[in-house]
Structure 1
């Protein structure tokens, strides 16, 4: 015979004195002396009686308690322990929360097309991965506030100011991405955190660059045609960044022009044009000298696989007792242009692959000054190799 259901009423629940009252079907009300009360359900699963709480009478109405009871009785009739099933569902729900780590990865994936080399170098994501996600990665993004962000970045705010700034910038992007997903986030949290952190005491350290007057002497020390020496010589002669240089391929060279794919050019995001680099006679000789090291079409392959690393070139300079870094040769070249020539600024900046001028100016000025840059790189090579040590006031 089925047990009668719905024996209680809302009025009974409210007026009940302390004690336990059955609503039927295993649903019970436990009324306490302080006036509060608790719903609980008794079921039998595999011959074992189970008792699970369904919530306080102040939060769960009689109707809602009955609906919950019926839901969990159905599980019991199927031989499923309702207490274990509810705990399982709770754990799954927690796993499905939009934690910061998941949203950050999703934001990174959506931005890869905008990043150099599809973000494979990891530079966009690493500030978050190293300094934010270890502390906040498992926190639901909707719960993150300025206090959380401040506490996460405080250890590096003054000691690694630039890294902290990048982490804050990336986090702001992630929060905007979360908002676009429809999540409830505080888009001002990063700005509030910045206000709490105060002004950073960190002083940016510029990359140490060799004075241009010393470049020829250093260039002469690279005479032995090793991969490292050849790469450093080409880096000096072309004034490009080490990334495109390390991945330089023979099939990118046509005649006296080396064409760097647009996606390898930092600071030229959104542009579909490649960047042409004029090669001097000295640079073309290096291309021939590098052929014995050719692996998979790369001029400067690594010792075992891939291409030569930026660290390898840096170690060479450090071993020579020099305080300068390979990237600094771009500054050496730019200083030489400024102090020894009358080359217009827009041409000088184009030599470095920089996007010069305003957006409107660039819309009308489509040239890359290739002809003028050919002359410049030829004169730079003559200076570097010691063929010409004169001033270039008329150049």
Structure 2
């Protein structure tokens, strides 16, 4: 019986397999094998954990692979190199971090996985993650934290796609997880917006506050140009041509990674003229030198003055005004919002950014706000 062997030495079996007994009493399975013309030895584990039958099977498979031109050593090294889900997720996060326009998005990616996925899935080897593992993460939050759950699902899927690209697995366990989840019945809430006829009142209120000049001017330009919060807050003087009345945001600062030219109304130019001298680089500097205003600063500005809406909602206000109060074709306000209209074929032929038509609608929007603001009468 193999288990009774205690005398130090080497005890040979077939396929180059032998049991090595050390002077210290350790007993280990070893296989002598030729791999790509080179003789070497492979350790197959301790006798305490690997039976003779298991050692023989492993030795046979190694010999079979080597005779076919394979490399059992390389396969073992690759197996050891396979990451756990947490290790893979952190690597995906590291790789993608430079591509996120806002560092906050990168933080959210890894933090949501750390909160909801790592406690159960983290230690599992990436190739071994199953649909059941993903389901166990999502089920507890699928209905109570619907939006968060959807994002966690999408981020797990991103990690799994990377693992497929690495050759560690052939499937994405996220693809089948919907079959085990109930339908989310809650409606997705749209960002809160003001009725367009209340925007001028909001601008008037903000102008009369004790907020910093940079903050107030940034907010007004955002409303006048219908840009997103980060596009306004991170504006650079190098992007602005006051003489031509044009603000050109480069692709890397736009959500859809396309450059966006904005025709500046007379009032928008006046706002920018007021901002001159605040900083040599940033149009709207924050309290820390060289840093732009934070998104929270603009949100706080309007919320503390009685407007329970979102900054992004002012784009909705403009879009509704254009729809209800103007005769501009639909594609003009859509282009002003940096949205693309029509299907892929239509866009392939219609390559104009409707700049001159957008100049007219932005001037009309500014004129509407000025007219309303001049007629504002605050009660109380």
Q: TM-score range by the shorter chain?
A: 0.7 to 0.9
Deviations 1:288-308 (A, max 9, x none): 2112421x5101111124110
Query: Matched residues in 1 for 2:58 and 2:271: separation?
Result: 84
Counterpart of 1:259 in 2: which secondary structure? strand
Q: 1:381 & 1:245 partners in 2: Cα distance?
A: 17
Question: Conserved in 2, the CA contact under 8 Å of 1:209 and 1:328?
Answer: yes
Do residues 195 (structure 1) and 179 (structure 2) align?
Answer: yes
Where structure 1 has 5 or more consecutive residues not aligned to the other structure, the ranges are 1-12, 30-38, 68-89, 391-395
Q: Find 1:241's aligned residue among 225, 228, 232.
A: 228
- Tell me how far apart the structure 1 counterparts of residues 183 and 57 of structure 2 sit (CA, whole Å): 56
Shifted more, 366-375 versus 164-173: the winner is 164-173
Residue aligning to 2:22: 43
Unpaired segments of 5 or more residues in structure 2?
Answer: 28-45, 63-75, 376-380
> For residue 275 of structure 1, what is the aligned residue in structure 2?
260
Q: Which residue of 1 aligns with 2:196?
A: 212
Q: Quick one: distance in 2 between partners of 1:64 and 1:124?
A: 44
Which of residues 302, 307, 324 is equivalent to 2:292? 307
Partner of 2:68: none
Partner residue in 2 for 1:59: 54
Q: Deviations over 1:204-244 (max 9, x none)?
A: 11110011010111111122562221111111101000011
**Worse-matched range after superposition: 285-294 or 373-382:** 285-294
The answer as to whether partners of 1:40 and 1:51 remain within 8 angstroms in 2 is no
Shift of 1:95: 7.2
**In the alignment, what sits opposite 1:97?**
82
**Aligned match for 1:252, one of 214, 239, 245:** 239
Q: Distance in 1 between matches of 2:281 and 2:22?
A: 72
| Cα deviation 1:81-136 (Å, max 9, x = unaligned) | xxxxxxxxx9x9997332223333444555567x5528674255554344323432
SS of alignment partner, residue 58 of structure 1: helix
Instruction: Identify the residue that residue 311 of structure 2 maps to in structure 1.
Output: 326
State how far apart, in whole Å, the 2-side matches of 1:211 and 1:119 are: 32
CA displacement at 1:166 relative to structure 2: 2.4
TM-score when normalising by structure 1: 0.74
The structure-2 alpha-carbon separation of the partners of 1:385 and 1:130, relative to structure 1 and needing over 3 Å to count, comes to farther
Q: Which residue of 1 aligns with 2:4?
A: 20
Q: Distance in 1 between matches of 2:116 and 2:284?
A: 34
Indicate how the Cα distance of structure 1 residues 223 and 335 shifts in structure 2: closer, same or farther if over 3 A, else same.
same
Q: What root-mean-square deviation, in Å, do the aligned CA atoms of Structure 1 and Structure 2 show?
A: 3.2
What is the rounded CA distance, in whole Å, between the counterparts of 1:203 and 1:129 in structure 2? 27
- Counterparts in 2 of 1:201 and 1:354: CA distance versus 1, 3 Å: same
- Count of aligned pairs between the two proteins: 330
Larger radius of gyration: 1
What residue number does 2:254 align with? 265
Q: Of the candidates 97, 106, 131, which is equivalent to residue 146 of structure 1? A: 131
SS in 1 for 2:124: coil
SS at match of 1:383: helix
Change (3 A) 1:109 1:157: same
User: What SS does the aligned partner of 2:185 have?
Assistant: coil
Change in 2 beyond 3 A, CA 1:176/1:237: same
Deviations 1:11-35 (A, max 9, x none): xx5xx9xx72467606599xxxxxx
CA distance in 2, matches of 1:160, 1:174: 21
